[in-house]
Amino acid sequence: MIDSYFFIPGDKPNYLSKIDKVNADYIVIDLEDAVSINNKQAAIELVLALTFNKNMFLRIPFFDNCYTNEQLKSLILKFEGQIVLPKINSIEDVNKVILLSEGNPLKIIVLIENPKSFIATEEILKAFSNQIHAIGFGSHDFCSITGIKHTLKHLAHYKRQLILYAKAFNVAFLDGVDLNLKNFDQFKKECVFAFESGAEGKFMIHPLQLDELQKVDFMSDEEINQLKFVYEKVKDIPVNDIEVYTIEGKVYEKPHIIRIKYLMEKIEKKYSNNLKS
C-alpha cells in the first residue's frame, strides 16, 4: 500500500548485478553514505556503466567534494535527472544542484535530514516543486543532530508536518529507514503510520524489509471489502464525469472516489506481488 524505495550501495558489483531481481517499486543506488571515501571513484565507474531504468534513482554526495562538477553532471544525465539530494541546509543548496542539470528535466527526492532543511522545506517546494518527485525524511540523521529519541512517538509530529508540505505542493512523501533487522514490529508500525498519515513510500535497506512489507496489514478485511464494493460501483466512471454518489447510505464525493481507485490499484498490486513470491 506504500511504495518501497530500496537502497543499493554503488560500489558493490555483486549487488548492482542483481538489481533486476529486487522486488522493490524503486531502486535507489547510493554513492553517499553507503560508499567509503576510498571507494567513491570506483563506484562512479560502476554506476555510469549501469543500464538506467525508469524506476531507478541515484543518491549523489553533491556537497562532499569527492566528485568534480563534470562528474556530477554526467551522473545527473545518466539517471535522466532522477536523483536523491542529501545533506541540504537551504534553498540555495537545491538551486546549486539544479544549475548543474543545465536545464535538463529533474525528478529530485529531497532529503530532509536536519533542522535547517526542515525549516526550509516550504520555501524549497514553493520554488522547485515542479522538479521534485518527493520529500524524504532522513530521520536518523535528524535525530542525531537534534537529540530527539528515534521513536514513532517522538517523530510523528515532524512526519505529519512534512506530509502536509508534500501534499500542499503535490509531491510524494517518503518515510525514513528502520535500522532494526532482527525485529520487524517497529518497521510494520512505521509502515502503517506512514500509510494512514498519507505517505506514498518508505526507504528500505534490506531484502527482508521488502518481504515484511508484503505482510503488513494496512487495512482491515472489513475496510478492504467495503472498498472493493464501492470500487465496483464507480470503477468505470471517467474522472471528469464523477459526481456525488450515495452508496449504502454513505455519501462519496469526487476526492473519495479518486482515493478509492488509487487504493484499489495498490491492493491489486500487492496481491499480484504475493502471487509471484
* Portion of the chain with pLDDT greater than 90, in percent: 91
Residue type, 239: V
CA dihedral 40, 27, 204, 152 (to 10 degrees): 100
Helix (H) or strand (E) holding 13: helix 13-16
Q: Where are the domains of the chain?
A: 3-213, 221-276
Distance between CA 179 and CA 203 in Å, rounded?
Answer: 11
pLDDT in tens, 75-115: 999 999 999 999 999 999 999 999 999 999 999 999 999 99
Residue 88: Cβ-neighbour burial (10 angstroms; 0-12, 13-18, 19+): buried
Helix (H, G, I), strand (E, B) or coil at 166: helix
**Can you give the pLDDT at residue 272?**
61
Pick the closest to residue 234 from 3, 226, 271 (CA basis).
226
Helix (H, G, I), strand (E, B) or coil at 134: strand
**Can you give the pLDDT at residue 275?**
47
pTM of the shown model: 0.92
pLDDT in tens, 169-214: 999 999 999 999 999 999 999 999 999 999 999 999 999 999 999 9
- Decide if 43 contacts 31 (C-beta within 8 A): yes
Q: Report the pLDDT averaged over residues 220-237.
A: 91
pLDDT in tens, 234-277: 999 998 999 999 999 999 999 999 989 988 988 887 666 554 55
Distance between CA 85 and CA 58 in Å, rounded?
Answer: 9
pLDDT in tens, 23-38: 999 999 999 999 999 9
- Decide if 227 contacts 264 (C-beta within 8 A): yes
Domain 3-213 has CATH 3.20.20.60: yes
